[in-house]
Structures are given as C-alpha cells and as structure tokens.
Amino acid sequence: MPASPQYTAVLTDIDGTLAPYGVPPSAAVVAGLAAVAERCHVGLISSRDFHYVNAMAARFGLTGPQVADGGARIFRAETLETLDCIFLEREDAQTLLDAVAQTDYTFSAVDDTSVVEAVADIRHWRITRVTVLPVPTADLPRFEELFGPERPVHVTRFPYEPGRTWGVDVTHKLGTKATAVHRYARLIGTTPARIIGIGDGPNDVEFLQECGLRIAMGNAHPDLKAIAHWIAPDVTEHGILAALERYGGELG
C-alpha cells in the first residue's frame, strides 16, 4: 500500500505571502493554490476581517473553513457560516478604544458581523479583533503594555509602513492565529502536526510554530525565517508556488 501523505492541509497567510500587500494574487498563484485545494484542505489565515478573507477565498475557489479576524473567527467560505468565534471581553475592548481615543490613530474593529471604524457604530460589543494604525515604533508600548497579565488579551504587530509604523492587532488570548491552528485542525479532522503553515510577517511566528511544517517567504520578517523549516523565494517571485511544488508530493 502507498504511504499516507504526511500533510493533510495548508494554512497560508494572504498579504506578503500570496501577493504583495495591496496587490491581487497572480493568475499563476490562483491556479497553483486552487490545484492543491483539489487534493487537500486549504485555508487562508489572516488578520483581515472575514468579509475580505471570504472574497479572497472566492478567488481560489475555496469553500472550506477559513481563518480571519486575527485568528478569532473561523468561518466557512461562500456561506460565511461562523464555525468558531472568540470575542474580546467588553471591558478589554473598551480599555483599548479609550486608549486609541487619546491618540490620532485610527482603528478598525469587527463587531459581530460588521466592520466598524467609530465607537458610535459599535452595536453589539461582540468584538473579535481591533486593529490600530499607524503606530510608530516608539509608541508600540502604549498598546503592548496596556493590559496586565491577568487580562485575557493578545496583542501583536505587523509592519504597516516598513521601517516607520506598525499596525497593532488585539484579540482575545484564545482567539489568535496560534490557537486557530488547533481549532482549524479539529474542524477538518486532522492535527496541527499535519498542517503546512506559510507566512511572512512577525505576527505569523506564533501561527507557524504550531504547524508541522513551517515555511517562511523570502521577504519574511527575520523572526519568522529563524523558526522556518524552509524559506521560499520572495513573494514577488511567486515563492508560494515554489513551496507547493517542493512539498506538494507530501500533501493529500
């Protein structure tokens, strides 16, 4: 009998992995990932809101579970059915938004199923993820040290204007990209050890650490490259296609 495939799923970041930030994936990348999705589970994992992730999943013809809102929400593509969702406690969301109000920064929050950018527009206080930007490096402690260790909050960052400013993502500590790997695995009937993770940002480090195979893009943050099993070519060189070609024989 032929050996069982070592990996049964791929979880890939979007921006900086499938395509440069703000650029749609190329036809070659779309075709390559769609072909893999015919043989195994393929999920997108992103800090972006689930509406954006769903639209991106549609480009690849993906219909299974996808991870959005910084890991706080897992939903089914096409139907937008929420499969798993973890909300910030209202006290923590309010503390964060009060801190943002003392600055000139903007925020974007996912409240239940709506994306809001003003406190007055929050209707349910069922907030999965809040993104604050643009935050200069010198002011990151304002948010990274805002919550004490007793609060169930996870704060991470991603480059916004490289070398100048950052975006700060805040979720419940159980609603992160790292915990999403385990929750996603349960939903599709596999284990994290059988998932290939692909990413590029510093906010992908914890996510990749939970995967059986860790692939960093050539343009990835040094912290991500340091824990990767393999470094793919740059996103501008269709590095994800090289990764899928290299490890495609171990997927099924």
The C-alpha atoms of residue 122 and residue 108 are separated, in whole angstroms, by 11
Please choose, from the candidates 89, 87, 90, 91, the residue with its C-alpha nearest in 3D space to the C-alpha of residue 69: 87
The C-alpha atoms of residue 249 and residue 252 are separated, in whole angstroms, by 8
Residue 89 CB neighbours (<10 A): 14
Q: Domains in the chain, ordered, with CATH?
A: 9-85+176-250 (3.40.50.1000), 90-172 (3.30.1240)
SS3 category, 67? strand
What is the pLDDT at residue 1? 43
Weakly modelled stretches of the chain, pLDDT under 50: 1
Beta partners for 65? 76
Q: φ and ψ at 64, to 5 degrees?
A: -90, -165
The C-alpha atoms of residue 29 and residue 142 are separated, in whole angstroms, by 39
